[in-house]
Structure 1
Amino acid sequence: MLGGSAGFGFPLDPSLYTSAAVCNWSGTVPSCKPVQCPPLVMRNLEPLEVVHYNDSYQGYVSFHCPLGYRLRGAIEIQCLQDGSWSAPPPTCQEIECPPPLPPLNGKVEEFRRYKVGAMVKYSCDSNLVIMGQPILICQADGTWSAPPPYCTIGCPYPEISLSNGQFSPIKFFYHPGDSVLVTCDPGFALSDERRDKLICNAVGKWFGNTGECLLVPTEPGPVYYYDEYEEDEQDDNDDDTGNKL
């Protein structure tokens, strides 16, 4: 009987063979064929992307999911000695952020789904101001870009129209008891210096009445007059060389 074997990746085809008594071989000489795994079925796996593909023995296939998707399964599979793949192809699962909860005494824009890149905007009820980021973005890891904000009593920057001036200090939020002063632009002055500030009260409203920034009048400068008689008289007293006569 004659036996044979092949190395890894090259199985005998079809099997071991024996010799007959009359010295005639019972079959043809076997051959070694390279192991190759079957083609991967990628149907219905979109948007899964193949980064590297080798279906021979010890070859591997690697996969990738685009932004906004999470890979579920093996990121890489290998062709085994028996001609099978080490695992089935993975899938791409769309990433979503959890629904945002509205703040107490406030609200948040609601959507059916919160995919990567989706933005939500928070707002507060009247006389309340928002603390934290008012706009959050769903990130690629399925989390929001910042903790959810909350609503509290306070005053926003004054919306009172003030020509030729501004309120300072400039902030997005003022606690009850905080005040802002009127600062007039250069060349302008407050009409009533006693009305130079607003105060944020306990219910989140501005209290006070400010003056106006008015243009500061400027004093007239010196006026120069041109005397033609004096100039003519001076010319008559000069000779052609410009010297006095």
Structure 2
Amino acid sequence: MSSKGTALVTGAARGIGKAIALRLADDGFDVAVNDLSVNSAALAKLVEEIEAKGRASSAHEADVSSEDQVREMVQQVSTRYGHLEVMVANAGVAGYSPMSEMTAADWDHVMNINARGTFLCYKYAGTQMIKQGTAGRIIGASSVIGKQGSPFNFAYTASKFAIRGLTQAAALELGPHGITVNAYAPGAIDTELLSSVAPSDTPYQGVLDSFKKQSPLGIVGVPADIANVVSFIASKESQFITGQSLSVNGGMFFD
């Protein structure tokens, strides 16, 4: 079976990243997957799942906040597969605390992974795609909190707003090369990260119930809801969409 190209998905060991990687494999892409070394076992299992679908896959352990590691990761993927068509900068972290209790180190940790990490993925994927001389798709992870600020999530809010700005700027710069740049902006998705944007003493079911009340549909999303949107953004059919941060939030927030 011929490949549609190569996709690289960061933060892919679990949750939304894993769902995206598996969906892109179903769509016909060979998929390189990334996460931290602490998640190496889960990453190796994901590679096996992708290969079982008849697609090539490889694991790349790297910290997206490190420029050297991102540069090397993109180079490894491009060398291994000969090209890179899709970059999904999905890796991210969150942290809940009052502004008065958030330390500068807490702020830097979230901003380094979410905003700096996305910038580095955009930079090196874009550079590679220009070098190839082929059209490409670069996709980032914003949030409903990147469109409407959330109390006690100061760094996370700022980082997700930053990703929207990065996406717009990159779309303008890379568009002449046939590269589209978009982001997805999830609302409440049933993953481990969801509990990170709520008080630590709140039972997880309570977190889910609270978010359900914020949606006119009365539900929270699942990772496949995001993967479905990324599948479209990564496709040829999305060629006239760029610079957008697409809301996938069950109606929590209307653009």
More helix by share: 2
Structure with greater Cα Rg: 1
Structure-1-length-normalised TM-score: 0.18
Structure-2-length-normalised TM-score: 0.18
